[in-house]
Amino acid sequence: MTRVALGVSYNGQAYNGWQSQPGGNTVQDHLEAALGRFCTQEVSTLCAGRTDAGVHGLMQVVHFDTPLNRPAASWVRGTNTFLPPDIAVQWAQPVPNNFHARASAVARRYAYVLLQSPVRPSVESGRVGWVFQPLDGAAMREAAAHLLGEHDFTSFRAAACQAHTPVKTMHRIDIVQRGVGAPHPELGWSPCYWRFEFEANAFLHHMIRNLMGCLVTVGQGRQAPGWMQQVLQARSRDAAAPTFSPDGLYFLGPVYDAAWGLPQRTAAYDWLP
């Protein structure tokens, strides 16, 4: 048996998340169906990190075991032949049998793209979150600093979360403003995009979307930056802001030790604002 790793990208708008469900309309269901047609036998995959309905993936990594011996390019092109246009295998690579897409990851990365504009998104609908009030970047960065390091993230955990522990280590949160246009003639502030990037050893169910709800609350001046520390210490979901929209959330992919020799990014990284 050969173990193969794949890098998969997808637009999550049309799907009920990553994980297979009885209805069959998930990214995993479509990927395994395509692999099954290409291999003419059933294929089961394991992923680096599950994503919710409406969440996108720039480089989801999966692995599977197969008795077939095919070139890497054949796995990419052959599988993509049977995939819908909004899911695509980006790369394929044979890996040692002790590689595990989830367990071998040392960290995971997400980005959230947010449109700040008096007008709702149109061409980027479903691909960005939206706020119609200006945000204070300095206040959001100050609030985010309270989240760095190892903490109990119960306040940002969905009720349905199945993680064994709410204690996670946040390595990095970057918040940058991009594409600032001319000031709106009536409002006096400029439409723009914000990109929030998160890296941690692991994430809880809805954790990023719950963090985003709190960061936007601070950015809009409805809470002071120090409120984030209070929410964290409360260890109660009731202490935090409502869960934010999934539209602008992207799974950038897992981080592996360089010794595995796997790609770290795909072309979609350069497209994302």
Residues tagged active-site: 52
Nearest to 64 by CA among 26, 27, 102, 90: 102
Please name every residue paired with 56 in a beta bridge, in sequence order, or none if there are none: 250
HSE of 220, CA atoms in CB hemisphere, 13 A: 13
- 159-162, long-range: CB within 8 Å, 24+ apart, which pairs? 159/237, 160/205, 161/204, 161/205, 161/206, 162/205
User: Taking the CA atoms of the chain, what radius of gyration do you get in angstroms?
Assistant: 20
Q: Would you state the structure tokens that stand for residue 232, as one six-digit string? A: 């964290």
**Cα 257 to Cα 38: distance, rounded to the nearest angstrom:** 30
**Planar angle of CA 236, 218, 247, nearest 5 degrees:** 80
